[in-house]
Structure 1
Amino acid sequence: MDPTFASIVVVTAMFVMLAAGVWVALALAGVGFVAMALFTTRPIGLVMATNVWGASTSWTLVALPLFIWMGEILFRTRISTDMFRGLAPWMGWLPGRLMHVNVVGCSIFAAVSGSSAATAATIGRMTIPELTRRGYDPMMIIGSLAGAGTLGLLIPPSIIMIVYGVAADVSIARLFIAGVLPGVVLTLLFMGYVAAWSLANPAKVPPYDLRMGFLERVRETGALIPVMLLIMSVLGSIYAGFATPTEAAAVGVAGSLVLALVTGTLTWANFRDSLIGAARTSCMISFILAGAAFLTVAMGYTGIPRLLAEWITAQQLSPVALLAALTVFFIVMGCFLDGISMVVLTTSVILPMVQRAGIDLLWFGIYIVIVVEMAQITPPVGFNLFVLQSMTGRDIFTIGKASAPFFLLMVLMVALLWVFPGLVTWLPSQMIG
């Protein structure tokens, strides 16, 4: 068997299936079936059953539906309104004023959500009407919300980190810890841009109209206490070593239910809708992971990953050149696929190349999360763009234009990670031996 010919057939089959509108999970399994039928003599049914079962019964995956359910519960509570009340009094002195509520609010909600779309939708539902009413620039409102919404993938707990950890066999707890410092740095980059833009465009920033004394501000900040306690209970239990990510996810679900009950927003309808929403999303992701597990094994039998790794070695690409090529590759894929599909679709082929180049898989996990974040705001298939389109009524390309500066900031963040890899590796090395 010629691996070059096999790779051409596999890639062609993948593009044909995706272009035909076949579900991503079925496309992954279908390509694996084609590869094994044409280029191997292995028993396809036995291999598929074994690997799909193994991928579907992983204990690690239990954290996935739990974190998704936690985000669904919080999405239906009044936590967003409380967050605006608690943040707004402290944002007025910054250049950009209440525009920073988008960024800081998204970073806080990201720590209890794990979903980019849920983060953008929840904070946007709160800030878009309020900031528009106060006269803030509509394009900056949309752009900052689209960009900051992607923090839902980077700041743990992150659904995409769980998916990558399972696919790459990397500790999810270490990935969660590794995402903290990059998440903080990216938040500061977003806030810095908002401040610089407001200083360059003072006419587009309305005057601050929330006049409060210090004690009154402190009182309003009390609205943040429930969500901060939930964040500390979930992430603190992981960082302190008291709980695995799966156990922490169960703590998060229980805490979010208590929070919804205390705020008076836990109704039977909300509970049912959150459970159904979490089940749908979890089944979709699990289905994709099962198809990806079979494709990964099929790729191993065909020898395509080994061929690509040897080709990379023959090209003598430096790690920097490899990452630059992969960044362009993921950005192009992000125009057509969602983030989870991108990760599971490519890990079986890309990880051998990354390992051959000597790149740490923990570091690469944070890198790939940031690149997937870029895909959330690239038209025509950026999930955050779809969310904001439904909320604002503007066309997808207008929203994409508003998001462009934040896309470039994420490119800068990738460069910073390469120059300062300790942003990823230092905290895990301190907290987990």
Structure 2
Amino acid sequence: MSSAAGTEAPLIEPSRAASRPPAERSSPTGRSSLGWLFALAIAAAAFNLRPVVTSLGPLLDQVREDLGMSPTVAGLLTAVPSLCFALFGFAAPGLARRLGPIAVVTAGMGAITAGVLARSFAGNTAVFLLLTALALAGVAVANVLIPVVIKRYFPEKVGPMIGLYSMALSGGTALAAAVAVPLTSALGGDWRIGLGVWAALGALALLLWIPVLLARRGSGGPSGGAAAGARLPITRSRTAWALACFFGCQATGAYVVMGWLPKIFQDSGISEGTSGVLLAVTMVIGVPVSFVLPNLAARRGDQRLFVVVLASFGIVGYLGLAFAPAGAPWLWAVLVGLSNCAFPLVLTMIGLRARTAGGVAQLSAFAQGVGYLISIPGPILIGRLYEATGEWYLPLGFLAVLLVPQILFGLRAARARHIEDEAVPAGAVAAA
């Protein structure tokens, strides 16, 4: 099947290129030096995919007060990232077919940079939300297409490259959450400067992607995307649905943790400063694990062992938070952080469950789009349960129970299958 992801030259060795399908081959000119630049650009892009969200949370009270934002609108901000990731993520494969995935990711870095910088000058809530959505649109297309880029240009190194991508993403998430407040204070205490400064990281990533884009065009490939080939009826694939539901379950837990974990610790008597550090621990633990886990997972025929182990960490962590949050807070933070490493695992499985870059593009958009839609009610429901009971037993019990379907969907998604074998294009069987 021909690739649906553009015609840029794959960065693979000539000896291995011969064994790839025709749609995956291209000229090896300039491969070595561009490969290093490409890897660095992928890491820089990944580092920018969460500060848009995690730098805002600690400063939200200041933003609300200055812009006159109502509590209802502020509450909706918790659902906006998942909604944008889903809606714009669904559009990413179509854009990649027209323009090529590198061009779309480059544009995504431009959108992140422009949105983050411009929203720091917003004079009202509507403009702030619109510019935040612009930045999140850039995040969404990069979310979907970076695994596609890795599959197409590093087909022999999917595990290590997904590991690099996941590690950089976790690092950006943790850094923004940990330093947003002290950095803003060091820069004079103005939230506009504290949020706008993150545009510098987006600009750096953009500067790395521009020469990659130009080098690809200079290598002889056309400036736009190639003909897409047959689109898979992906909704026929049980593996695709399992991946989408697995993604949705893990995303629900991750966004609840990012939004509510400090409050859980504070309600148990732990100080605000320590609770913030504990949240950072849950994110930092994902940095080394996100680098190692995809490589280990890619070496196995299936990834079912990892699905069960990570979920088991989460069950113990959530129960510990429910019944003894102040008893071993560092242990619970580490266990919950390890459970959230289901994210790099599902990214790895997306790259492994399709044979071609075009298949990965469709699977990535479907799994992440549907998955993020599934995750939208999670943080809101947790808030309602807490408001109704005044305790964390029921919300944390819900998160622990949610890991059971996560395991079941994960076990189905982790089997060594390819969506091309399940989602056969209409007429393909008859033609064969």
TM surpasses 0.5: no
TM-score by length of 1: 0.31
TM-score by length of 2: 0.31
Larger fraction in helix: 1
